[in-house]
Structure 1
Amino acid sequence: MDKQAKKSERFRHFFQVLWAVITNSYLIGFVRGKIYQGKIKNICVPGMNCYSCPGAVAACPIGALQATIGSYEYKFAFYVAGFMILVGTFMGRFVCGWLCPFGLIQDLLNKIPLPSKLKIRTFKGDRQLRWLKYGILLVFVILLPLYITDMIGQGYPWFCKLICPVGTLEGGIPLVLLNDAMRATVGWLYAWKNVILIVTILVSILIYRPFCKYICPLGAIYSLFNPVSILRYRVDSEKCVNCGACAKACKMGCDPVKNANSLECIRCGKCKNICPTHAIEYCAISKSLRKKNKT
């Protein structure tokens, strides 16, 4: 990776850290062991950031979606769905690459040095396994909260309750450590969630962003907007020399020459920065369509 590419990567990580600090700026929560419950908490952040994190000043869109779908008062989260559609329409999975705190954690974990033979770029069944996140979105985020309810018709946030390692890391562990009463009530579910978190951390060292690739329902939603989002990639065929550098640089397994706006692309910019002829560029969809029409 050349100096410019390294500089761009450092800037992306700086932006990720800055955004994580801004969206988790309720620092007194880490002292008191209580979550912020002010009016801002009614607003969603674009990425996965647990509502129950002591520092979180806003809500996670997946948590909010489950809460409103599972509510006996509402059966569809028009605000939350509208928010995710708006974000997806503008940015697609740019959110995953730049605005998700858990994405940053996975990025840093994968930088832990290991012998190259232990780093897994792909494996048999990798592509098929990536469809799992869509199944998790459908079953755990939508169907279970909608149809499995208690006596008063209230559903549960099943993804947050049974799967989400983000909630365990950002909310569960800090709150349990800071509250004696919570420590006395932890049981098998807390242990199970910690097992999932530990496995996710260990696998993240070996595989780049396994949570984003195979599990994250928010990434599944935003991925659907990648081909049509306003912020997107374009490959200039006149400049491209088909050297393969972009595909080799992409840790998400995308080939920009074949599909510049793959469902798996997180807009991290590695392909753009490594391209020797600067054939890959950000462009608005309108600009892309105009150039396509001219050809």
Structure 2
Amino acid sequence: MTPSRLFIGLRILASTVVSLLIILAMADLWSFLAPGVVRIVTWLQFLPSLVRALTAFGLLAAGFILVLALTLLFGRIYCSFLCPLGAFMDWVIAIRRRISNLKFKYAKPGILRYFILAGIAVSLLFGSMHLINILDPYSIFARSAQALVRPLAIGLNNLIAQAAELAGYYGVVPYPFSLPPLPVLGAIMAWLALVVWMAAARGRLYCNTLCPVGAFLGLASRFSVFKISMDEEKCIQCGACSKRCKASCMDVENKTVDASRCVMCLDCLSLCPVDAVEFANPSAIRKVETDPARRSLLLIGAFLLTGLPSRSAAETGHGYPGAIIEESLAASSNEPLGPPLPIERTASLVPPGGMGRDHFTSACTGCHLCVAACPSHVIRPEVVAHQGKGLLAPALSYEKGFCNYNCNACTMVCPSGAILAKGLEDKKRVQLGRAQFIKQNCVVATKGTECVACAEHCPTGAVKIVREQGGPGLPKVDEDVCVGCGACEFACPAKPYKAIYVKASLIHGQALPPKKGESVQNLVGEDFPF
């Protein structure tokens, strides 16, 4: 096997393994994949790692440094070896070639990618992640897998469960079927369709027009030690390499290769009939010229390094006093009952480890890995969330479940630092919000029905049933102990509006531990709270 064939084989193997591991992480209903494996794969994803460096410094933020170092040595190998969306586009190109004779040709470089990169750098200065959420290649691939592959895995699992049950075997547990909200699914499908169309028509066009990772690594690759180049003496200008170049960066007429757009697929090395295409260090023959990309790279780097989102003094504080919550709508027991009061949420609930709205939205890339990891299915993506600060970002919803008190799965998988790792005991004290009681919605007050569902299912004993002067027992919330898990809200049978619900804390507080003598409920595995 020639070295070029070996390199191409390694590229295909590496990109396929990375892509399949991310798909498996999104569709792993059976916990086959160890969390450490997922962290290694996502550690090498450039933009999540970079964002983590800007928001939560640590070893997990070093992945982008490794990718940048490899780029300065070998060019944009991330784009063909480690980027899952790049691998997906290669699959689309391969399928298109099976259908028809797909050929490419050299195209002059455009400047749209640099405008997008500059826009992202400026938006980071203002703490906005909208452009990254839309354009990050890892996040596009990951949330597409979560939206499309995971439902297929659930359907397959449930078919196997039904077949096994008919055969008298009950070891396969059915899984509740779920899809992202239709607006989110529509947005994901529309953007994925655009990527597929660009790949089928123009190869790696997305990588060199819209992708911010491609633009940044393209600037860095201009200074890489080893590059793809053409030997001017050997080249016979047959065009074999250019027709195969999915990045459209090989100029046969001038016998040059645009290193900033070359995605290092290495296909051209095995196609040249006279071995004129080389992967070597061109420094010996490099012409002395002024490179305008050098100033651009330094400028973009300065923007990114200064793009650390600011954190308010309140956010860095700990404990209950620093939590900012919404105004309570709880009715006084002395007030006459009015009509049922609808719940109007003015803030979305942030997953534990997210610290609060501003931290979470300043780091979330919208990859939806936390959505896939949540066993309670309460982390749900929204098109626009967190008062417009999050685009395709997840938030907690207690319509179909609650945040399990004995679970910290979402805190262990986030690659961008939007959700920081929390040990289980620390997670149990994170105050996502506080439960609020609305008397005129409660079945006890409106129908005289005895009900203790909210108190029975509170894991910290924050909700208690209190009887005043021989009247019916009504819930009373100890806000110091409440963690905002939503067990009470999910359990509440009141219709059409819940009588108890969780109002989000804009900055997560720290709840007090349950008081001595209070029993802590274990809610693991309960399908129905009442």
Superposed displacement of residue 195, structure 1: 1.0
Counterpart in the other structure of 2:112: 132
CA contact (8 A) 2:72 2:224 kept: yes
- What is the percentage of aligned positions where both structures have the same residue? 20
1:145 to 124, 128, 141: 124
Counterpart in the other structure of 2:203: 208
Q: Where in structure 2 are there 5+ consecutive unaligned residues?
A: 155-174, 288-530
Counterpart in the other structure of 1:49: none
**How far apart in 1 are the matches of 2:251 and 2:211?**
21
**How far apart in 1 are the matches of 2:196 and 2:92?**
7
Deviations 1:102-127 (A, max 9, x none): 222212212324455xx68479xx74
TM-score (norm 2): 0.40
Deviations 1:137-176 (A, max 9, x none): 3323x332330xxxxxxx4532453344323323444457
Counterpart in the other structure of 2:17: 21
**How far apart in 1 are the matches of 2:283 and 2:69?**
20
Counterpart in the other structure of 2:262: 265
2:144 corresponds to which letter in structure 1?
A: L
Task: Determine which structure has the larger helix proportion and give its number.
Answer: 1
**How far apart in 2 are the matches of 1:109 and 1:160?**
23
Counterparts of residues 225-236 of structure 1 (less than 5 Å) = 225-236=220-231
Counterparts of residues 1-295 of structure 1 (less than 5 Å) = 8=5, 12=8, 15-21=11-17, 25=21, 27=24, 30-32=27-29, 37-38=35-36, 41=39, 56=41, 58=43, 60-69=45-54, 71=55, 79=62, 82-111=65-94, 112=96, 113-115=98-100, 121=104, 127=108, 130-140=110-120, 142-147=121-126, 155=127, 157-164=129-136, 165-174=140-149, 183=179, 186-253=181-248, 254-255=250-251, 257-284=254-281, 288-290=282-284
Superposed displacement of residue 291, structure 1: 5.4
In angstroms, what is the RMSD of aligned CA positions? 4.0
CA distance 1:203–1:242, change in 2 (3 Å): closer
**How far apart in 1 are the matches of 2:194 and 2:118?**
23
Counterpart in the other structure of 2:335: none
Pick the structure with greater CA Rg.
Answer: 2
Which 10-residue stretch deviates more, 230-239 or 168-177?
168-177
Larger RCO of the pair (alpha carbons < 8 Å, separation 6+): 1
CA distance 1:28–1:105, change in 2 (3 Å): closer
CA contact (8 A) 1:67 1:156 kept: no
CA distance 1:208–1:19, change in 2 (3 Å): closer
**How far apart in 1 are the matches of 2:284 and 2:151?**
55
**How far apart in 1 are the matches of 2:30 and 2:216?**
32
**How far apart in 2 are the matches of 1:105 and 1:15?**
13
Paired positions, count = 255
TM-score (norm 1): 0.67
**How far apart in 2 are the matches of 1:121 and 1:234?**
18
Superposed displacement of residue 221, structure 1: 1.5
1:64 corresponds to which letter in structure 2?
A: S
1:255 corresponds to which letter in structure 2?
A: D
**How far apart in 2 are the matches of 1:195 and 1:229?**
35
SS of aligned partner of 1:278: coil
Task: Determine which structure has the larger strand proportion and give its number.
Answer: 2
CA distance 1:207–1:261, change in 2 (3 Å): closer
Deviations 1:43-93 (A, max 9, x none): 6xxxxxxxxxxxx55352212323443x3x67xx98465334312211212
